[in-house]
């Protein structure tokens, strides 16, 4: 039987920057330049007439749309040359989104950019086109050719997610950044929409985007959509807690008394907690984040969430149980002072205040959110706030991790059953729920909301954990301090995951919350019979202590560091002499990043990403010559050396980097997003190959930035597992002997983590 060893850390010490030539060539343009230029001149004439007729409510600064042709989504087609030509007229790109082109019965998605400008800017663009002063600039010409039309966002394109019978309710409005006069922009919105400011909450961020949560009627909505600076509007559902059933005849277990206390702290935002419940006493600190008096329904929910983090599911657990490995600060955000604040701006304000000022707490649980499925073309303030908090930390600090329940509307019709904000975060985790069937097999809980997630985190929920069901309830302590209560919901699957990450942190100082995120996803079990939108990356491991273990010939290495956009970084996959063994080798990798969010463009919500390339053999290269067949040869194969010399002497060029596997077959931006999940913050892949095909394998990461974030560092957390069952000897020992800067993580006894 194979020995157990701690997983290995500090793989980043062997990371090497590399130079790599990017592939791809010029795209065939849909029309020639003179035709494209005349089309835009016609568009500008129409646009000017609409503005003069005041068919919408315009301010001095207008927001117009530059709609690109289909398949022109790559960042190289951002119309920056066009903007540069008129930038002295106060013109700038302020966001973007997808739009639909309808021709006959076909629908095609394409990209549009929102451009803030003035009447003078529109006239300047017309003048530049008419005079031809930039006709000699190739990039200008290509960008003009890539534009489908220049117009306005139609009123109906601004509103999304409203049913046919919608009459009144809470709506979140998103206004474009108009930093020259944001106050006037907000006042004009209320004047145009007729919404009572007493029924609204407003938040403007430093980047200029403004979120307004307001109670309004359908009449208000119809008036608001005629406001030119309005970017999007979507309805917000009420917050509700899952029903809790008490069983007064049951007996709650007790925790073994200990004179020691954990040092790991976890933050919880919920309905409060009864810190006098014996299982919580001494481990949970209840903090009032609202002056409103606590109510039993909310206290029971928050107390159950805290119990789930500390102890998991209490079903089939009786007598005395081991003390937990973490402490909890539970911030009570319910009931809200304003019972009309269903968009939770009060709670978000508190979270934005607490998290940056709690520098010793980096792991948070949120088991609440407004009801309602996410929509692709609009970002909620809640989601944006959490993603910003995860990214905007001092350079030498770990990023906080938010673990969020995915929502309990999974049994609604398609689209309505999609995950709910803020579980669509890209820098945190959205958790779905599983339960058991009558045979004891794991199944997805029918109430658990499904994916896909939004651009930047298309795989949602991230993972599933136990959330209970009517037949197999999740068990928590009751408020009577002696009995148990029964619940079910993603509200309790999420704290199961939070508690597991907290336990990993308690076991090793090498595990931060974001590393814990990568490790849980890396080790989640996929059910191949289920679609990805139901399970995400799979079912969470039950015993997370096993995650920190390696076998002799199945090892996991962690890599953590930063990378700059445009940089290529080689991460070695440590496997000495792997090509000398027999049989297959399986290699799996998970890459998790923390990136800057960009709420102005839901289609480009992540400002950075990492592209991964697996190189199985560092000695195999491609040799190319124009008009000749490409050849792939190995410097390790003695019979290939003469051929390599001949090709080089004949004018062939050797590829700058070894041949990847598999070769990238698609280069269109939309295909890369759909197939390779480009711009997502989590990558999880695996491959199985014959051992003789491997020699000094590597994983190459390529960092990319956009939206002005081309110089900001990206934090990466990587786990790579090599499974070589027929390796001769111990792969684990050979790796540590060969690469002496690698070290096993220190796994500590829980009691050693506690202080007296």
Q: What is the pLDDT of residues 172-188, one digit of tens each?
A: 999 999 877 888 999 99
What was the pLDDT predicted at 275?
95
Query: Does residue 42 register a pLDDT over 70?
Result: yes
What was the pLDDT predicted at 119?
92
| CB neighbourhood size of 160 (10 A) | 14
Torsions phi, psi of 110, nearest 5? -145, 175
CB 162 within 8 A of CB 235: yes
Q: What is the mean pLDDT of residues 4-32?
A: 82
CB 65 within 8 A of CB 153: yes
What was the pLDDT predicted at 22?
55
Residue 154 to residue 134: CA distance in whole angstroms? 30
What was the pLDDT predicted at 462?
97
Q: What is the mean pLDDT of residues 116-138?
A: 91
Nearest to 598 by CA among 426, 428, 370: 426
Tell me the sheet residues that pair with 463.
Answer: 431
Query: Does residue 24 register a pLDDT over 70?
Result: no
Q: Predicted confidence band at 505 (pLDDT cuts at 50, 70, 90)?
A: very high
Q: Predicted confidence band at 755 (pLDDT cuts at 50, 70, 90)?
A: very low
Q: Which two tokens stand for residue 429?
A: 């985790």
DSSP state of 584: E
Q: What is the mean pLDDT of residues 216-245?
A: 92
Query: Does residue 2 register a pLDDT over 70?
Result: no
Higher pLDDT among residues 530 and 336, named by residue: 530
Query: Does residue 196 register a pLDDT over 90?
Result: yes
How would you classify the pairing of strands 62-68 and 147-151?
Answer: antiparallel
Nearest to 146 by CA among 22, 62, 35, 42: 35
Widest pairwise Cα distance in the chain: 87
Distances (CA, A) of 555 to 517, 587, 610: 19, 10, 24
What was the pLDDT predicted at 491?
97
Residues in contact with 409: Cβ distance below 8 Å, sequence separation at least 6, in sequence order? 371, 373, 416, 417, 420, 447, 449
Q: What is the percentage of the chain residues whose pLDDT exceeds 90?
A: 72
What was the pLDDT predicted at 286?
97
What was the pLDDT predicted at 108?
87
Q: Predicted confidence band at 441 (pLDDT cuts at 50, 70, 90)?
A: very high
pLDDT in tens, 546-592: 999 999 999 999 999 999 888 899 999 999 999 999 899 999 999 99
Query: Does residue 716 register a pLDDT over 80?
Result: yes
Residue 552 to residue 732: CA distance in whole angstroms? 5
Query: Does residue 444 register a pLDDT over 60?
Result: yes
What was the pLDDT predicted at 300?
96
What was the pLDDT predicted at 668?
57
What was the pLDDT predicted at 23?
55
What was the pLDDT predicted at 145?
93
Residue 435 to residue 447: CA distance in whole angstroms? 10
pLDDT in tens, 144-153: 999 999 999 9
- The pTM of this model reads 0.92
Residue 533 to residue 447: CA distance in whole angstroms? 14
Q: Predicted confidence band at 754 (pLDDT cuts at 50, 70, 90)?
A: very low
Q: Which helix (H) or strand (E) holds 346?
A: helix 345-354
CB 721 within 8 A of CB 573: no
What was the pLDDT predicted at 167?
93
Q: Predicted confidence band at 681 (pLDDT cuts at 50, 70, 90)?
A: very high
Query: Does residue 669 register a pLDDT over 60?
Result: no
Average pLDDT, the chain: 91
DSSP structure string for 58-115 = --SSEEEEEEEPTT--SGGGS-HHHHHHHGGGT-EEEEEEEEEEEETTEEEEEEEEEE
Q: Predicted confidence band at 750 (pLDDT cuts at 50, 70, 90)?
A: very low
DSSP structure string for 361-427 = --EEEE----SSB--TT---HHHHHHHHHHH-S-TTSPPPEEEEE--S-TTSSTTTTB-BTTTT-SS
Q: Which two tokens stand for residue 89?
A: 């007229």
pLDDT in tens, 391-430: 999 888 999 999 999 999 999 999 999 999 999 999 999 9
What is the C-alpha end-to-end distance of the chain, expressed in Å? 39
DSSP structure string for 198-214 = GGEEEEE-TTS-EEEEE
Query: Does residue 87 register a pLDDT over 80?
Result: no
CB 233 within 8 A of CB 297: no
Q: What is the percentage of the chain residues whose pLDDT exceeds 70?
A: 95
What was the pLDDT predicted at 396?
83
pLDDT in tens, 372-384: 999 998 999 999 9
What was the pLDDT predicted at 78?
87
Residue 352 to residue 342: CA distance in whole angstroms? 17
Q: What is the mean pLDDT of residues 98-110?
A: 85
Residue 498 to residue 365: CA distance in whole angstroms? 6
């Amino acid at each position: 039987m194979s020995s157990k060893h701690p997983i290995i850390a500090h793989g980043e010490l062997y990371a090497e920057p590399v130079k790599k030539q990017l592939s791809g060539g010029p795209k065939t343009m849909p029309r020639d330049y003179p035709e494209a230029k005349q089309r835009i001149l016609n568009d500008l004439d129409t646009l000017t007439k609409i503005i003069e007729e005041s068919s919408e409510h315009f301010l001095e600064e207008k927001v117009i749309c530059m709609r690109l042709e289909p398949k022109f989504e790559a960042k190289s087609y951002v119309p920056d040359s066009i903007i540069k030509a008129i930038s002295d007229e106060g013109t700038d790109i302020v966001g973007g989104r997808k739009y639909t082109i309808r021709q006959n019965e076909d629908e095609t998605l394409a990209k549009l950019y929102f451009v803030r400008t003035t009447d003078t800017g529109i006239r300047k663009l017309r003048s530049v086109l008419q005079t031809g002063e930039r006709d000699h600039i190739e990039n200008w010409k290509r960008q003009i050719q890539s534009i489908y039309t220049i117009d306005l966002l139609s009123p109906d394109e601004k509103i999304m997610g409203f049913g046919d019978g919608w009459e009144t309710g809470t709506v979140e409005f998103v206004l474009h950044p108009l930093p020259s006069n944001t106050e006037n922009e907000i006042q004009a919105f209320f004047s145009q929409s007729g919404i009572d400011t007493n029924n609204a909450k407003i938040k403007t961020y430093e980047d200029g985007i403004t979120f307004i949560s307001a109670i309004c009627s359908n009449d208000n909505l119809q008036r608001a959509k005629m406001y030119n600076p309005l970017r999007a509007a979507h309805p917000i559902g009420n917050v509700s807690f899952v029903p809790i059933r008490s069983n007064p005849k049951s007996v709650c277990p007790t925790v073994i008394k200990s004179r020691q206390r954990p040092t790991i702290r976890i933050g919880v935002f919920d309905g409060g907690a009864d810190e006098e419940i014996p299982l919580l006493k001494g481990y949970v600190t209840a903090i009032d984040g609202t002056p409103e008096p606590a109510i039993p329904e909310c206290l029971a929910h928050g107390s159950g969430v805290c119990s789930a983090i500390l102890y998991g599911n209490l079903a089939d657990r009786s007598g005395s149980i081991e003390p937990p490995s973490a402490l909890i600060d539970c911030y009570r955000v319910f009931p809200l002072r304003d019972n009309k604040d269903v968009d939770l701006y009060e709670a978000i304000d508190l979270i934005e205040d607490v998290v940056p000022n709690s520098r010793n707490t980096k792991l948070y649980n949120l088991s609440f959110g407004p009801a309602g499925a996410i929509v692709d073309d609009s970002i909620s303030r809640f989601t944006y706030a959490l993603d910003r908090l995860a990214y905007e930390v001092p350079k030498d600090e770990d990023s906080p991790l938010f673990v969020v329940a995915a929502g309990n509307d999974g049994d609604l019709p398609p689209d309505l059953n999609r995950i709910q904000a803020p579980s669509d975060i890209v820098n945190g985790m959205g958790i779905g729920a599983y339960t058991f069937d009558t045979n004891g097999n794991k199944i997805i809980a029918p109430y658990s909301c499904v994916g896909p997630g939004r651009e930047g985190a298309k795989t949602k929920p991230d993972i599933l954990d136990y959330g209970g069901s009517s037949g197999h309830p999740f068990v928590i302590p009751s408020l009577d301090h002696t009995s148990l209560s029964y619940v079910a919901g993603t509200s309790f699957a999420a704290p199961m995951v939070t508690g597991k990450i907290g336990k990993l942190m308690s076991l090793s100082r090498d595990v931060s919350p974001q590393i814990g995120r990568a490790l849980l996803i890396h080790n989640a079990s996929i059910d191949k019979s289920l679609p990805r939108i139901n399970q995400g990356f799979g079912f969470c491991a039950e015993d997370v202590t096993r995650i920190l273990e390696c076998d002799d010939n199945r090892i996991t290495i962690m890599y953590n560091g930063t990378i700059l956009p445009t940089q290529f970084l080689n991460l070695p996959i440590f496997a000495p002499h792997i090509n000398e063994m027999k049989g297959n080798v399986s290699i799996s990798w998970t890459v998790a990043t923390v990136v800057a969010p960009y709420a102005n463009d839901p289609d480009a919500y992540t400002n950075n990403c990492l592209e991964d390339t697996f190189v199985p053999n560092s000695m195999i290269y491609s040799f190319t010559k124009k008009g000749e067949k490409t050849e792939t040869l190995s410097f390790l194969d003695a019979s290939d050396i003469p051929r390599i010399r001949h090709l080089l002497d004949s004018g062939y060029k050797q590829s700058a980097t070894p041949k990847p596997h598999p070769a990238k077959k698609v280069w269109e931006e939309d295909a890369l997003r759909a197939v390779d999940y480009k711009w997502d913050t989590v990558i999880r892949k695996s491959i199985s190959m014959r051992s003789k095909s491997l020699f000094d394998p590597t994983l190459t990461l390529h960092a990319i930035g956009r939206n002005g974030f081309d110089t900001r560092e990206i934090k990466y957390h990587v786990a790579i597992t090599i499974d070589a069952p027929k390796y001769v000897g111990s792969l684990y020992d050979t790796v540590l002997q060969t690469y002496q800067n690698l070290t096993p993580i220190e796994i500590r006894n829980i009691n050693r983590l506690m202080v007296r």
